[in-house]
Amino acid sequence: MPLPEPSAVAAAAVAVGQAAPVPPRIGLVLGSGLGDFADQLSSAVRLPYSQIPSMPTSGVAGHAGVLHVGEVGGQRVACLQGRAHAYEGHPDSSVVFGACLLAELGCEAVILTNAAGGIDPKLRPGALMLITDHLNLTGRNPLIGPVQAGRERFIDMTHAYDLQLCAAARRAAAAKGIALDEGVYAGLLGPNYETPAEIRMLAALGASAVGMSTVLEVLALRQLGVRVAAMSCVTNLAAGISTTPLTHEEVQQTAADARERFVELLTAWLTEIGH
Ligand code: HPA
């Protein structure tokens, strides 16, 4: 299913630009339970998604649906607090609309964040994992369809996760003394959590963590030439590794518990990117 209409993204950017005239340099997408980072912004303009034309809203708990434009870590940033997921029934054009809007607003780089289940045994609940590569197992791709003018059909994904942005994350983690794991994110459609057999399959495929977002946004952003980085908050042990059933409440609670480290690392990361 294709990307959003460029005219719709442009109209959304005009609405945001009227409310927040100074353009952002870095975009952030805040995942499940991780939206509190937006409270860090100073001089912030806050715009509910309902006031941005064509911007899809998320009905999932922990996804506020507010765009924040302001300053943090010495950077002018735009934060999407909440995203639309494919499992909610959104077409790909809606799933990636927010990411395309960040690009249209002028963001040269976008940091995507998410909650994920830990497959790699070293990833305990609360771990922060820099995503260095992904497996798109959603069966979907926003780049399917006519190629929009000036875009490439066969995009390179060798370094989809920007090497310099990853290096900046490692420096920020070291400077703050915050443990930062690294690994491969498997993006699935959801909305069910996986079966233990599926988790064993994902482990065999080389996945470190599993979630239900991010990969489609990365594809859209890479085609737009935007530099991408991503970080997971491991909110639970994946099915079968954990002996207890998984719940969205557990996911949100662990994300809330990791809030302080997540906010500190993200802020330091933005400062490093500016250097
Ligand atoms: N599986 C898929 N998505 C998730 C998980 C999980 O275990 N935890 C948080 N998002």
| pLDDT the model gives residue 232 | 96
Give the number of C-alpha atoms closer than 13 A to the C-alpha of residue 72, restricted to the C-beta side.
Answer: 24
Task: Name the region of 194 (left: φ>0; alpha: ψ -120 to 50; beta: rest).
Answer: beta
- CA–CA dist 257, 7 (Å, integer): 40
| pLDDT the model gives residue 62 | 63
Q: Which position has the higher pLDDT, 251 or 23?
A: 23
> Residues of the chain with pLDDT > 90: what percent?
77
The two three-digit tokens of residue 208, written as one number: 């470190």
Q: For residue range 27-50, what is the model confidence (pLDDT) as tens digits?
A: 999 987 788 899 889 888 999 999
> Residues of the chain with pLDDT > 70: what percent?
98
Give yes or no for a contact between 266 and 149, defined as CB atoms under 8 angstroms apart: no
- CA–CA dist 95, 220 (Å, integer): 10
In this model, does residue 143 exceed pLDDT 90?
Answer: yes
In this model, does residue 55 exceed pLDDT 90?
Answer: yes
What DSSP letter does each residue of 92-135 carry, written as one string? HHHHTHHHHHHHHTT-SEEEEEEEEEE-STT--TT-EEEEEEEE
**Nearest protein CA to atom 5 of ligand 1, as residue:** 117
Ligand 1 and 184: CB distance under 6 A: no
Mean pLDDT across the chain, nearest whole number?
Answer: 93
**Is CATH 2.40.30.10 correct for 6-274?**
no
Give the position, in ligand 1's atom list, of the atom nearest the Cα of 238.
Answer: 7
Quick one: how far is CA 52 from the chain centroid?
20
Confidence of residue 57 (pLDDT cuts 50, 70, 90): confident
In this model, does residue 95 exceed pLDDT 90?
Answer: yes
The whole-model pTM stands at 0.95
Which of 236, 248, 249 is the pocket-test mutation for ligand 1 (most atoms within 8 Å of CB)?
236
Q: Is 262 helix (H, G, I), strand (E, B) or coil?
A: helix
Give the position, in ligand 1's atom list, of the atom nearest the Cα of 239.
Answer: 7
Ligand 1 and 142: CB distance under 6 A: no
Give the position, in ligand 1's atom list, of the atom nearest the Cα of 188.
Answer: 2
Q: For residue range 121-139, what is the model confidence (pLDDT) as tens digits?
A: 999 999 999 999 999 999 9
Nearest to 109 by CA among 166, 173, 67, 147: 166
